[in-house]
Amino acid sequence: MDRAVGRADISPGASTSKGGAAPVSAGASHGGRRRRGGDGWNSEHRGERPLQRADRNYNELLQELRVAQTGVQILFAFLLGLSFTPRFASVTEFQRDVYVITLVSSAVTTAFLIAPVAAHRVLFQSGRKRQLVRLVHRCLFAGLITLVLTMVGAMLLVLDVVLRPPVAVTVTAAVAAFFVVLWFALPGYRRLKDRRDGG
C-alpha cells in the first residue's frame, strides 16, 4: 500500500503504536474508556466529526465571549471616566494605586476577550479551526481570571471611599473568594469528580 494513502486513512487525532497496530482514537483514555468530550466520545454519542465538533465549540465560545465582553466594556468605561471626575483629585495614594492596577487589569481583560476576533481574522480560511478553538478557550479563561481581578479592584476602590479601610478590605476579600469558588473551584471540583468516577 502506498504510504501516502496509508497515512490519509488515519484521522488527524489518531496515533499508532509500534509494530503497525491499529490506530487509537484521540478521544480514548487509559483503560479503553473514551474521554468525555474527546473526538472519539463525540463521534460515538453526538455523531460529530472532529471539524464539526470544532465548529460547535467555537460557536459556544463566541456566546460566552459576548456575555463577558458586555460586562468588561461597561466596567472599563466606568474606570476611564472616573479619573475625570472632580472627586478623583482628592483620592488617597492607596486609592490611586488601586485605581491604576484595576484600570490596567481591565485593559488586559479587554485584550484577552477581543484577541479571539483578531486570531480569527489572521487564521481565516487557513484550515486551523481546531487550533483556533484552543486559542480562544485559553484567551477566554485568562480573561475570566483578569476580570475577577478587575471587579475585585473596582469594589475595593469604591468600598475604601464609603467604608473604613479594614472593613473595605474584609468585604472585598469575601467577594473575591465568592467569585473564585463560584467561577473556578466548583466547576473544577465537578470535573475532577467526574474523572475519578470514570466519566
Q: Is residue 119 a contact partner of residue 135, using CB atoms and an 8 Å limit? A: yes
Nearest to 101 by CA among 154, 57, 47, 54: 154
Q: Note the pLDDT tens digit of each residue in 28-76.
A: 444 445 556 666 656 665 666 777 777 787 788 888 888 888 888 888 8
**Is the per-residue pLDDT at 197 higher than 50?**
yes
Query: Do residues 61 and 140 touch, judged by C-beta distance below 8 A?
Result: yes
Q: Which of 124, 111, 137, 121 lies closest to 57, judged by CA?
A: 137
DSSP state of 1: -
pLDDT greater than 50 at residue 17: no
- The amino acid present at 186, given as its one-letter code, is L
Neighbours of 1 (CB within 10 A): 6
Q: Name the residue with cell 483578531.
A: 118
pLDDT at position 61: 84
The Cβ of residue 189 has, within 10 Å, a number of other Cβ atoms equal to: 11
DSSP 182: I
The HSE-up count of residue 54 (CA atoms within 13 Å, CB side) is 14
Could you give the 3-state DSSP secondary structure of residue 24? strand
Taken in order 157, 159, 160, 165, the sign of the CA dihedral is: negative
pTM given for the model: 0.71
Tens of pLDDT along 114-152? Answer: 998 888 888 887 878 888 889 989 999 999 999 999 999
pLDDT at 2: 43
* Cα 144 to Cα 138: distance, rounded to the nearest angstrom: 10
pLDDT in tens, 82-112: 888 888 888 899 999 999 999 999 999 999 9
- Cross-strand pairs, 28: 34
Q: Which three three-digit cell numbers place residue 144?
A: 475570566
